[in-house]
Amino acid sequence: MSEPFHAHHGASCAVCFIIPPRVLKRLSSQAQDPKKSDTLLETLALTEHMRGQRTLAAGLTRAVPAGELRRTIYDAHRGITLPGKLVMGEGGPTPPGAAGVAAKQAYDNSGLAYKFYKEVFGRNSVDDRGMRLDSTVHFAKRYDNALWNGQQMVYGDGDFFHDFTAAFDVIAHELTHGVTQYTVPGGGLVYQSDPGALNESMSDCFAIMAKHWHAQQTAGSANWAIGDTIVPTGERPLRSLSEPEKGLDPQPKHMSQYVDTPEDHGGVHINSGIANHAFYLTCMNLGAGTKSWETPGKIWYRGLSLLRPLSGFQDAAQAFVQAAGLLHGPGSKEAKAVTDAWAKVGVLQAAVT
């Protein structure tokens, strides 16, 4: 459905941002305050400059002994050179003053993401080999974004958006880009068109699992929003898995609404809503009392290793149905729940009865 692309597009996630360029552009055009409009445009310009770069950080040694958590926090002091000045290490003191708040939040939430993957999936950090979790805070001036650049997390201080380092779901989303990078055989999902949309969806799905796990929420009572704490008070959450069309970044929830566009690497932040909604429906198919990180989460985690760099939506649907079969049996209620969900979003032909 989207235009063809070739292997030279092949970085699994060149530089992955939580706020898509199209959202920055739209918010800038709508801003009543010229200063906020300018800040959003500056963020957009820097974001576009950074996109397509494989990594911005120097090649740092990140492997640590198996089973050990090691976090390293840097401060860019509102510059754009990465990683910046080392300000906090594992078990070390928090930097003094207001500047240390973001460092401590990045430290705590990256540790919580490590704990989520360790306790739920038995995974040892992003690469499952004890990769050190590096973060840079105070990146650029009022930079309205957070990102994973293939090696580390980077956080701006924001202006329209705020408190990126305090948002556990944002941090889990970005770190999951690394998990996808190291788990999908062949170096991850190509960050273009359908594979890129699946890449973004994996980050949203595992971020929502992490959020539910931390809050101990069930599917029926859960908050299905991504980025609801980084937007201004009263604003819609950035994205919603239960109602993709109602987020600040509206998305389709069915293949009939698929957006064919050359923007944003072929709509990776747009069409990801379809796969996101399939995960939500899978959880609800299994019952309101379902914990998203348990049965559905284990299916999605197993399915990651069945994907390939150029996997499209149908490939993904089949991979997750296969994963459910491997874990619970081909004719199980779990396999039927997954099949039905992907059928309801228009990817598979018919729901299982």
Taking alpha carbons only, the member of 115, 108, 304 closest to residue 213 is 115
Taking alpha carbons only, the member of 205, 187, 173, 176 closest to residue 273 is 205
Q: How far apart are CA 222 and CA 246, in angstroms?
A: 16
Burial of 330 (0-12, 13-18, 19+ CB in 10 A): exposed
Taking alpha carbons only, the member of 77, 170, 85, 177 closest to residue 131 is 177
Distances (CA, A) of 135 to 69, 122, 179, 345: 14, 23, 16, 36
Residue 49 annotated in active site? no
CB 253 within 8 A of CB 344: no
Residue 245 annotated in active site? no
CB 219 within 8 A of CB 211: no
Q: How far apart are CA 225 and CA 228, in angstroms?
A: 6
Taking alpha carbons only, the member of 158, 148, 208, 155 closest to residue 179 is 148
Q: Exactly one of 269, 277, 328, 334 is catalytic; name it.
A: 269
Q: Which residues of 206-231 are buried (b: 16+ CB within 10 A; e: fewer)?
A: bbbbbbbbbeebebeebbbbbbbbbb
Taking alpha carbons only, the member of 213, 220, 114, 106 closest to residue 163 is 106
Could you say which DSSP state residue 63 is in? B
Q: DSSP letters along 107-129, please? A: HHHHHHHHHHHHHHH---STTSS
Q: How far is CA 318 from the centre of its chain?
A: 22
Q: Exactly one of 42, 174, 200, 334 is catalytic; name it.
A: 174
Q: Annotated active-site positions, please?
A: 174, 269
